[in-house]
Structure 1
Amino acid sequence: MDKVRSHEQSKLPATLEQCRRCDLWEHATQAVPGVGPARARIMLVGEQPGDQEDVEGLPFVGPAGALLDKALAEAGVNRAGVYLTNAVKHFKWEPRGKRRLHKTPAQKEIAACHLWLEEELARIQPEVVVALGGTALKSVLQDSGATMKSFMDAPFQHEGRWVVAVYHPSFALRARDEASRRRAYQVIVDGLRQALRLADKVR
């Protein structure tokens, strides 16, 4: 049975909704694809859908999405002009009473879902990718050892495009105190401004 299951998971699915390359689909409401223009200069990659995204089938529509909207506006980036997606397309969660709490995807789940990010990169062809948090950075670089600390200081090039690494908006929401939350938020805003400047240079 395990061999059959492994064989099924190794197949390339025809659509995201049919994806069974890891087990996250079993407990998610639906797969959440990326959204945005067919040709966007900037792609924002998050970690995974949250509870609200899982229900609505759209990325960044929950509290983290609201903070991201604020940061985009402050940075002068038009949300309608960027492509928004996640490294992992199904919501990974654990029960806490009646609530579904976010659980960080495992490396095997990030790796299983990477083909969808590759497809999006090939189709959208962004000049700049903004990695929102560590999971996104690992997926973009295909490097399980990549850390935010190593890449947040400055934009860098990877496979012919610029990459900017910043905190995920949920990190700024969960920071332990107001000063930490403000610092994390400012890192996001500054990174989005850098992404816009880089995209303008390439154009």
Structure 2
Amino acid sequence: MATTKAPEDAYTAEPFVPGKAGALAELREAAAGCRGCPLHRAATQTVFGAGAQDARVMLVGEQPGDQEDRQGRPFVGPAGKLLDRALAEVGIDPGEAYVTNAVKHFKFTQAEPRKRRIHKQPTLRETTACGPWLAAELALVEPELIVVLGATAGKALLGSSFRVTQARGTVLEREIHGRPERLVPTVHPSSVLRADDREAAYRGLISDLRVAADALE
């Protein structure tokens, strides 16, 4: 497949997104060649969403982490394992959800080649550049509910004024990319792993996810 070319300063994935994709596999194949922003240069590979196209719930996180970048699948690292446990606890089958990230390439800092790669938050410009992929995923999956995991995902879907602390654990109804959507924001599971009181942070995540589970019933 020929690689689409875009200006180095374009900062948009739009030229790489298939106009009439009928399946997620088509999007995933096209995304592997995305050069819509500079993040692709250092990343190992594009990390596209995973799950069934008819999934009732879509979970949207920030960006892939170190393990996701190496394996090419979202939420396979420690945060993903914690999220799977939390979903199962509230009665949402992780295997029946579609999981993805607002940004499809791993952004990191690394002082030395053999040192651990440290996650670096994507900018609003980078998140916006990746927006066409998320819009295409939403158009194909058409979820009944979107679980928004953290501030970056929230800003990608709801605008730069989004604050996860104000909106978490509530059901929001908004028009996203021309389609009415229901969304439940919560924290990103990685924040639970970083919390001083990890148990309290986990219970807060569970409380928010119960709202999502109830909204699906």
TM-score scaled by length of structure 1: 0.90
Pair 1:120 & 2:137 matched: yes
Counterpart of 1:106 in structure 2 is: 123
Describe the superposition over 1:136-158 as per-residue Cα deviations: whole angstroms up to 9, x where unpaired: 101111x1221112211521111
Alignment of 1:167 onto 2:201:
no
2:8 counterpart residue number = 5
Q: CA RMSD in A?
A: 1.7
Aligned positions of 1:1-203 closer than 5 A: 4-6=7-9, 12-14=15-17, 15-97=30-112, 98-141=115-158, 143-159=159-175, 160-175=180-195, 177=196, 180-200=197-217
Asked if the contact 1:42/1:196 (under 8 Å) is kept, the reply is: no
1:6 CA displacement: 3.0
Q: Which amino acid aligns with 2:16?
A: P
Alpha-carbon distance in structure 1 between the residues aligned to 2:149 and 2:12: 27
CA distance in 2, matches of 1:149, 1:13: 34
The alignment of Structure 1 onto Structure 2 pairs a total of residues equal to 194
Cα distance, 1:19 vs structure 2 = 1.2
Displacement of 1:113 after TM fit? 0.4
Alignment check: 8 A CA contact 1:32 1:53 kept: yes
1:28-61 Cα deviation digits (max 9, x unpaired): 0000010111111110001000000000000000
For 1:4 and 1:113, how far apart are their aligned partners in 2? 15
- AA paired with 1:80? G
Which residues of structure 1 form unaligned runs of 5+?
none
Cα distance in 2, alignment partners of residues 74 and 62 from structure 1 = 19
Q: Distance in 2 between matches of 1:10 and 1:118?
A: 11
Contact conserved, 1:75 with 1:192, CA < 8 A, in 2?
Answer: yes
Pair 6,157 (structure 1): closer, same or farther in 2 beyond 3 Å = same
1:11 deviates by: 5.2
Q: Which has the higher helix share?
A: 1
- SS at 1:12 equivalent: helix
Are the structure 2 counterparts of residues 54 and 191 from structure 1 closer, same or farther at C-alpha, using a change threshold of 3 Å?
A: same
Q: Tell me, what secondary structure is at the counterpart of 1:129?
A: strand
| Percent of aligned positions that are identical | 45
Moved over 4 A (4+): 7-11
